Amino acid sequence: MDGAVYALIVNACVALLFAVAFAVIRCSYQHQRAVEWFCAAYAIGVLSPLSELGIRYCSGSALFAAISYASLLLYTLAMALGLTAMSGRPMPWRAATLILVVGAVLRAAIGNGHRDDLLYGLALQLPFVAASTLSALVAIRTVRQRVSRLWAAVAILFGISIVYFATKPVFASTLASGATAEAFASSGYALFSQATGRLLIVTAGLLVMLIAVEQAMNRTILDSETDPLTGVANRRGFERAAARMIAHANQAGEPLALAMFDLDHFKRVNDSYGHAAGDAVIRAFADLLLAMAPRSATVARLGGEEFVVLLDRTTMTGAWHIAQAIRIALPGIAHLPAVTTSGGIAELKPGDTLETLLDRADQRAYEAKFSGRDRIVPVPPDVTAVPLRLVPADPPGAARKAAVKR
């Protein structure tokens, strides 16, 4: 067995292993739909080295050459579409279709020309350069969003792929790759081409797999830190976000305040209207908090009918105005049982921890309860008037969709 045949067999086995690995990831993480593209890409990619073996040992080399070309082109396009799906960007269907059509037309036009002819090679490799460019552009745009550093490696890899496909015709003509498909398969250049291709295929598969695993882990962490009923942070997610916000406030010397809310007589809602109505009130209140709190705030449900809003760059007076506006707006939510809220506010002091800040806000929320409910305690001394009723800038449904970004 010569080196080129060995390289082809290894390429087929590697592609098959990656196809199986991506299938396992898809079955393990149902939200990772983008990996279906990579599973398909590597499953199709298996055909390319197998067809190259067919050129060597079977009759009908033209058919096997066409299969090899088609499978490699579909592999590169599936990779580009998979990267686009994984990045969350709009799918480039027109560009992919154009590359596929142009590739088919060029392949039919050049037919079984001389493999070591420079113009023939350029026409043969042009669709692969275009498909690799599509992948590189997707990765570069994703890098700009600062999603993950792995995308920078993907951009570099497909930049190398562009150079690889663009320079293959030059190497083919200078290294005497052979004029026919059979001669090419037996040439020394074929070993170089297959070895380089295998390196790119393996590197691309590993990078994409790392991104898929990273996304799956991030999704798992997000799910573990999100309240399933409301979509806002739960206590665990709140504590992690609050630790970051408190550290920043202390370092920058900026004010930070916390508002704690508790729905008044919430048990009566459940007893009178049922738990479904109670859940609807909880969700509506969470949406109201998201809609009326600043976008930089962290909104969380600590449990039951208890919520908190952590406000960066906000003083005690600013927190009171925000909390008061929320309190005033709550009874006006239509199609739900009338409900009010009591709240307590506290501002971060030197030496404060999250626990001490929460404890002060909690004590003041109890003061609001015991002093008649439906109020925010304390009222800062510089507050001269109660603000008018405010209308949320965004509808509640839209606010909940933004919760994950918070």
List the one residue out of 243, 190, 213 whose CA is nearest residue 354. Answer: 243
CA distance 317 to 300: 21
CA distances for 397 relative to 237, 238, 343, angstroms: 21, 21, 24
Write the pLDDT tens digit of every residue in 48-70. 888 878 877 777 677 888 898 89
| Count of CB atoms situated within 10 Å of the CB of 137 | 18
DSSP letter for 335, please. Answer: T
Residues contacting residue 338 through CB under 8 Å, at least 6 positions apart = 331
Q: What average pLDDT does this structure show over 238-255?
A: 95
Four-point Cα dihedral 328, 329, 331, 337, nearest 10: -150
> What is the pLDDT, as a whole number, of residue 28?
86
CA distance 406 to 290: 9
CA distance 374 to 265: 10
Q: Are the beta carbons of 204 and 14 closer than 8 angstroms?
A: no
What mean pLDDT is reported for the chain? 86
List the one residue out of 387, 330, 341, 389 whose CA is nearest residue 368. Answer: 341
Q: Are the beta carbons of 390 and 329 closer than 8 angstroms?
A: yes
Rounded to two decimals, what is the model's pTM? 0.70
> Residue 242: which region, alpha, beta or left (left: phi > 0; alpha: psi -120 to 50)?
alpha
For 225-298, where are the alpha helices, taking DSSP H only?
235-252, 266-273, 275-292
Write the pLDDT tens digit of every residue in 262-308. 999 999 998 898 999 999 999 999 999 999 999 999 999 999 999 99
Residue 216: exposure state from Cβ atoms within 10 A (0-12, 13-18, ≥19)? middle
Q: Are the beta carbons of 325 and 390 closer than 8 angstroms?
A: yes
List the one residue out of 302, 298, 321 whose CA is nearest residue 311. Answer: 298
Which structural domains are found in the chain, ordered by start?
3-224 (1.20.1070.10), 235-405 (3.30.70.270)
**Helix or strand (DSSP H, E) at 258:** strand 256-263
pLDDT at 204 over 70: yes
Q: What average pLDDT does this structure show over 192-221?
A: 87
Q: What average pLDDT does this structure show over 323-339?
A: 87
112, two tokens: 């079984």
CA distance 52 to 237: 53
Residues written for the chain? 406
pLDDT at 312 over 60: yes
Amino acid at position 71, single letter: S
CA distance 285 to 299: 11
> What is the pLDDT, as a whole number, of residue 389?
41
- Which segment of 285-294, 339-348, 387-396 scores lowest on mean pLDDT? 387-396
Residue 340: exposure state from Cβ atoms within 10 A (0-12, 13-18, ≥19)? middle
Residues of the chain with pLDDT > 90: what percent? 60
> What is the pLDDT, as a whole number, of residue 210?
93
